[in-house]
């Protein structure tokens, strides 16, 4: 076992861990038996990560294989960001990375060195609701609430991107986020309402 004490940079890490990560990220059903025999279990290095989450700079030592979503949910208790598929298909895990909406389940936490992350918990100042949160509440834009964090993070981005100019455009740019309860019409109502105010959000 050779513990990795020194952070040797994102590129170096990626080279070293590419095979582990690729295997880890591959659905079990796609890994063939012969591949298993060929891979020798490796000690898992802890890697250093400097990341800003909701305005708070954190210097962490993390498992190299941890996805950004699992870092948030399992290690840091930011459970507002949801796990729905771990394949980047449902949007429940949507967060903002340096202001851009991104699915946190399909990237490694370590690829976010020095990045600024905003989660649903950091969307408002904690004293009042963000206008999009208030609009979701008012329009009953959810039922079970599980996709809601992701919908709201996408919705805020959708408005900021300038893609909320019509209902059709909102729908297209919100196709990134699945709602199985079927609150779609109310979600679009909420986004349209916020977009129409023209306020910077």
Partner 1 sequence: MKSNNYNTIFLEDERVDGADKVTGKAKYTAEHNLPNLAYAVFVTSTIAKGTIKNLDTSKALAMPGVLDIIYYGNCPAVPGYISNAAERPKNVFEWRGYKILYDNKVRFFGQPIALVVADTFENANAAIRFVKADYEVEKFETNFDKARLDPANLKGPVNYKRGTEKKFKEANFFIDAEYNIPLEVHNAMELFATIAYWEAEDKVTLYDKTQGPKSTQSTVAKTFGLPDKNVRVIAENVGGGFGSGLRSWPHVPAACIAAKKLNRPIKLVLTRPQMFTLVGYRPQSWQKIGIGADAAGNFIGISHEAISNTSRYEDFREGIVDVSKFLYACENVDTKYQLLPLDLSTPIWMRGPGEATGCFALESAIDELSYKLKIDPIQLRIKNFTTINPENKLPFSDINLKDCYAYGMEKIGWKNRPSIPGTVKENGWFIGYGMSVGVFGAGKGSASVRIVLSNDGKLLLECAVSDMGPGTMTSMSIIAADALQMPIQKIKFKLGDSDLPPGPSQGGSGTTSTVGSAVDLACKTLQQKLKELAIQYAPAFATTSADALEVKNEMVISKTNASIKIDLVALLKLANQEKIDLTINSNGKNAEQLKYTSNSFSAHFVKLAVNAKDGSIKVLNVVTTGDAGKIISPKTARSQMLGGVVGGIGMALTEKVEIDQLTGQIINASFGAYHVPLHSQIPPTDVWFVNKPDIHMNEIGAKGIGEIALIGFAAAVANAVYNATGKRVRDLPITPEKLGYKTIKA
Judged by CB under 8 A, the residue of 18, 57, 58, 87 near partner 1 is 87
Alpha helices (runs of H) in the chain, residue ranges in sequence order: 10-25, 33-38, 68-70, 131-138, 148-160, 167-173, 184-197
The correct pick among 17, 70, 94, 112 for binding partner 1 (CB under 8 A) is: 70
Q: Is 187 in the site for partner 1 (CB under 8 A)?
A: yes
- Residue 4, CA distances (Å) to 47, 63, 67, 88, 107 in order: 7, 11, 19, 30, 21
By C-beta, is 36 or 199 nearer to partner 1?
Answer: 36
* 149 sits near partner 1 (criterion: CB under 8 A): yes
Least Å distance, CB 43 to partner 1, is 6
Q: Give the list of residues 6+ apart from residue 160 with CB closer than 8 angstroms, or none.
A: 99, 201
Query: How far apart are alpha carbons 74 and 42 in whole angstroms?
Result: 22
131 binds partner 1 (CB under 8 A): no
Contact 20, 82 (CB under 8 A): no
Q: Is 55 in the site for partner 1 (CB under 8 A)?
A: no
DSSP state of 59: E
Piece in contact with partner 1 (CB under 8 A), picked from 4-12, 36-44, 96-104, 193-201: 36-44
- Contact letters for partner 1, residues 90-119 (x by CB under 8 A): x-x--------------------------x
Stretches 10-18, 59-67, 110-118, 193-201: which one binds partner 1 (CB under 8 A)? 59-67
Do the Cβ atoms of 118 and 54 come closer than 8 Å?
Answer: yes
């Amino acid at each position: 076992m050779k513990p990795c004490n020194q952070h040797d940079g994102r590129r170096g890490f990626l080279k070293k861990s590419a095979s582990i990560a690729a295997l880890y990220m591959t659905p079990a059903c796609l890994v063939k038996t012969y591949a298993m025999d060929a891979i020798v279990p490796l000690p898992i290095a802890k890697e250093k990560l400097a990341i800003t989450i909701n305005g708070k700079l954190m210097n962490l030592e993390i498992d190299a294989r941890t996805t950004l979503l699992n870092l948030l949910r399992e290690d840091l208790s930011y459970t507002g960001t949801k796990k729905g598929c771990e394949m980047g298909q449902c949007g429940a895990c949507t967060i903002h990375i340096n202001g851009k909406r991104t699915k946190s389940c399909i990237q490694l936490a370590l690829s976010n060195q020095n990045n600024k992350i905003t989660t649903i918990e950091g969307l408002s100042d904690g004293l009042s609701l963000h206008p999009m949160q208030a609009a979701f509440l008012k329009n009953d834009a959810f039922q079970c609430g599980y996709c809601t964090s992701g919908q709201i993070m996408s919705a805020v981005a959708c408005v900021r991107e300038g893609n909320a100019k019509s209902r059709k455009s909102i729908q297209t740019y919100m196709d990134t986020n699945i709602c199985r309860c079927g609150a779609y019409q109310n979600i679009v109502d909420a986004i349209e309402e916020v977009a129409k105010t023209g306020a910077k959000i």
